Amino acid sequence: MTFEPTREAGLARLAEFVPRAGRAYAAERNTDRGPGDRSNVSTLSPWVRHRLVTEREVVEAVLQRHSLDAAGKFVQEVYWRTYWKGWLELRPSVWARYSASVAPALDSLSAADRATYDDAIAGRTGIEGFDDWARELVELGYLHNHARMWFASIWIFTLRLPWQLGADFFLRHLLDGDPASNTLSWRWVAGLQTVGKTYLATTQNIEFATEGRFSPRGLAESAPAVDDDGPIPAPGPAPRPEPLPRGRVGLLLHEDDLHSESLELAGLEVVAVASPTAGEPRSPAADPANALVAGFTAAALADGRARAGAHFGADASALDRLTASAIRDWASSYDLTAIVTPYGPVGPVRDRLDQLERELSDDLTLTRILRPWDALAWPHATRGFFPFREKIPALLREQQIGP
Ligand SMILES: Cc1cc2nc3c(=O)[nH]c(=O)nc-3n(C[C@H](O)[C@H](O)[C@H](O)COP(=O)(O)OP(=O)(O)OC[C@H]3O[C@@H](n4cnc5c(N)ncnc54)[C@H](O)[C@@H]3O)c2cc1C
C-alpha cells in the first residue's frame, strides 16, 4: 500500500474504491486484515486530509454508484470527519489546551513512565499487536481505524501513559494526521469526549477483528475515564463566509485545502498563486526524523500549487516560510492588494493564518474562503454525532449531492 501525494493518485484510489463503498464496506470495514490487504476500507484519508480530494467529491462519486441506503455507512464515516472538524471549530480552546499540554506531559513523565513511553513508540513493549501497530504507523503513516482504537486504548488503560502523548505520536506519524479527528478520537477513547464513556480494547475483539493475526495478553480489564482536562466548553459560533475582496488578488494555499480549483471564487481575478514548501510543525515535541509525513505534505503542497497555477493561469510561487515578510515580498512583486486563502480549520495552519493576519498591514487583506460543505455542516456540531448524523440527508440535498 503506497500513498502518492498527488490529486491524480487520490482520484485513482477513489475510482478503484467506489464499487466497494456500498454494503460490502458496511459489512467488512471493521476487519483489520493488515497492511497487505486494505480492500475493505478506502484508505483515502491522506488525500482527504489535505483536500487533494474533497469530501464532497468522495461522497458524490460514491452516491453516483450507490444509493444513500446502500452507502449510508460510508457517507456517515466521511461525515464523522466533518463532525469532528465542526466540533473543534466551535470549541477551539480544546485544541489550545491539548497543544499546550504535550510538552509538559513529556517533561513530567517519571523515569519508569519515560521508559514505557520510549518502548511504546519504538514498538517494543512486548504487547502483541500494539508493537506491530507502532511500527506500522511509523513505517507506513497509516493504521486501520480499529488498530487506532486498540492502540489508543492500550496506551491509556494498559500502559497508563498520558493520552496527549499518544495523540502526539499519532499526529506526527499519520499521513492523515488531523488536529480534529485525532485529538477528539483520543479524547473519546479516554472518556473525555463523551464524558465517562471510554473504549476498552479486549483480546477477544482484537483476535476476532484481525482474523486471528494478534492475540495480545495482559490487557487492562477496565477503562476508568480519564479526568484531566476540565469541562467541555459550550459551543461558540460557527464561522460564516466572508465577502470576497476586490482588486489584484493573490491566492495563498496551505496544506489543509489543496483543491483550489473548486473554491468559490466567482468573479475574482487571481493574478498570482503561492504556497509554502513545507507543512506547519504538528507537534511541540517535533520529530525531525519524521520524513514520511513531511515529504507527503511538501509534495501535496507542490501538487496543489502547480494545479492552481495552471487553473488560474497565474505564476505559482513556492514560499520557504509562511511569514508576513515572505507574504509581503510576494504580494509586492505582483502588486497584489488582497490575498485569499482557503479557510484553515482549528489547528496549526489556523494559528499561522491568525498570526499572518495580525502582522500584515491593513492595505493587504487576508480573506478566508469557507466551503459550503463546512459552512452548512459545522453549525450542527453542537452536540453528539447522533443528532448530527440525522442532518446528513438534508445536508446532501442542500448541496444537490446524490439523486
Ligand atoms: C485514536 C484515533 C485517531 C485517529 N486519528 C485520525 C487522524 O488523525 N486523521 C483522520 O483522518 N482520521 C483519524 N481517525 C479516524 C479514522 O481512523 C480514519 O479516518 C480512517 O481509519 C482512515 O482510513 P480510511 O480512509 O481507509 O477510512 P474509510 O473507512 O475508508 O473512511 C472514509 C473516510 O471517512 C473519514 N473517516 C472514516 N472514519 C472516520 C472516523 N472515525 N473519524 C473521522 N473521520 C473518519 C476519513 O476521511 C476517511 O478517509 C482516528 C481514529 C482514532 C480511533
Distance, CA of 333 to CA of 327 (rounded, Å):
10
What pLDDT does residue 403 have?
A: 74
In angstroms, what CA-CA distances link 332 with 247, 251, 302, 366? 14, 14, 22, 15
Considering the domain architecture, whether residues 157 and 269 belong to the same structural domain is answered as no
What pLDDT does residue 195 have?
A: 82
Region 353-377: what's the mean pLDDT?
A: 93
Mean pLDDT is lowest, of 17-31, 107-121, 208-222, 357-371, for 357-371
Q: In this model, does residue 288 exceed pLDDT 80?
A: no
What pLDDT does residue 289 have?
A: 60
Of the chain, the percentage scoring pLDDT greater than 90 comes to 92
The count of domains in the chain is 3
What pLDDT does residue 321 have?
A: 86
Number of other CB atoms surrounding residue 194 within 10 Å = 14
Distance, CA of 154 to CA of 219 (rounded, Å):
7
What pLDDT does residue 287 have?
A: 62
Domain assignment present for 217:
no
On whether the pTM is more than 0.85, the answer is yes
Distance, CA of 35 to CA of 39 (rounded, Å):
10
- What are the tens digits of pLDDT across the range 324-343? 999 999 999 999 999 999 99
What pLDDT does residue 362 have?
A: 73
Domain assignment present for 230:
no
Considering the domain architecture, whether residues 334 and 381 belong to the same structural domain is answered as no
Q: In this model, does residue 79 exceed pLDDT 80?
A: yes
Residue nearest to atom 43 of ligand 1 (CA): 81
Domain assignment present for 228:
no
Distance, CA of 235 to CA of 232 (rounded, Å):
9
Distance, CA of 62 to CA of 14 (rounded, Å):
9
Considering the domain architecture, whether residues 270 and 350 belong to the same structural domain is answered as yes
Residue nearest to atom 16 of ligand 1 (CA): 145
Three cell numbers, residue 346: 482549528
Considering the domain architecture, whether residues 72 and 121 belong to the same structural domain is answered as no
Mean pLDDT is lowest, of 4-8, 85-89, 182-186, 355-359, for 355-359
298 alpha carbon – ligand 1 mean position (Å): 21
The CATH number linked to 191 is 1.10.579.10
Q: In this model, does residue 65 exceed pLDDT 90?
A: yes
Average pLDDT score, the chain? 96
Number of other CB atoms surrounding residue 149 within 10 Å = 21
Q: Which residues lie below 8 Å from residue 36, measured CB to CB, with a gap of 6+?
A: 1
Considering the domain architecture, whether residues 101 and 55 belong to the same structural domain is answered as no
172 touches 293 (CB < 8 A): yes
Please identify, by atom number, the ligand 1 atom nearest to the C-alpha of residue 42.
Answer: 30
Domain assignment present for 167:
yes
For cell 471549530, the residue is 89
Mean pLDDT is lowest, of 35-39, 178-182, 280-284, for 280-284
275 alpha carbon – ligand 1 mean position (Å): 26
Structural domain containing residue 303: 249-369
Considering the domain architecture, whether residues 255 and 349 belong to the same structural domain is answered as yes
Residues with CB under 6 A from ligand 1: 29, 41-45, 48-49, 77-78, 80-81, 84, 145, 148-149, 152, 170, 174, 176-178, 181-182, 185-186, 189
The CATH number linked to 355 is 3.40.50.620
201 touches 186 (CB < 8 A): no
Residue 98 vs residue 288, higher pLDDT: 98
106 alpha carbon – ligand 1 mean position (Å): 26
Q: In this model, does residue 103 exceed pLDDT 90?
A: yes
Beta-sheet pairing, 249-252 with 270-276: parallel
Please identify, by atom number, the ligand 1 atom nearest to the C-alpha of residue 149.
Answer: 53
Q: In this model, does residue 284 exceed pLDDT 80?
A: no
Hey, which residues does 340 pair with through a beta bridge?
Answer: 251, 367
Please identify, by atom number, the ligand 1 atom nearest to the C-alpha of residue 174.
Answer: 8
Considering the domain architecture, whether residues 319 and 339 belong to the same structural domain is answered as yes
- What are the tens digits of pLDDT across the range 196-243? 899 999 999 999 999 999 999 999 999 999 988 889 999 999 999 999
Per-residue confidence band for 402, with pLDDT thresholds at 50, 70 and 90: confident
Domain assignment present for 185:
yes
30 alpha carbon – ligand 1 mean position (Å): 12
Q: Is the dihedral of CA 82, 84, 87, 89 positive or negative?
A: negative
Instruction: Work out the burial of residue 325: count CB atoms within 10 Å of its CB; fewer than 13 is exposed, 13-18 middle, 19 or more buried.
Output: exposed
- What are the tens digits of pLDDT across the range 37-54? 999 999 999 999 999 999
Considering the domain architecture, whether residues 42 and 126 belong to the same structural domain is answered as no
Per-residue confidence band for 400, with pLDDT thresholds at 50, 70 and 90: very high
105 touches 165 (CB < 8 A): yes
Domain assignment present for 219:
no
Considering the domain architecture, whether residues 360 and 258 belong to the same structural domain is answered as yes
Domain end among 209, 239, 270: 209
For cell 480573506, the residue is 367
What pLDDT does residue 146 have?
A: 98
Considering the domain architecture, whether residues 142 and 115 belong to the same structural domain is answered as yes
Going by C-alpha positions, the residue among 34, 190, 42 that lies closest to residue 105 is: 190
> Which one-letter DSSP state was computed for residue 155?
I
Domain assignment present for 16:
yes
Domain end among 152, 179, 209: 209
What pLDDT does residue 123 have?
A: 98
Q: How far is CA 162 from the centre of its chain?
A: 21
Per-residue confidence band for 184, with pLDDT thresholds at 50, 70 and 90: very high
Domain assignment present for 221:
no
What pLDDT does residue 271 have?
A: 96
Distance, CA of 397 to CA of 237 (rounded, Å):
23
Three cell numbers, residue 68: 444513500
The CATH number linked to 16 is 1.25.40
Considering the domain architecture, whether residues 283 and 301 belong to the same structural domain is answered as yes
Considering the domain architecture, whether residues 144 and 255 belong to the same structural domain is answered as no
Strands (DSSP E) found in 160-269 = 249-252
Region 91-119: what's the mean pLDDT?
A: 96
Dihedral pair phi/psi, residue 143, rounded to 5°: -135, 150
Of the chain, the percentage scoring pLDDT greater than 70 comes to 99
Q: In this model, does residue 286 exceed pLDDT 70?
A: no
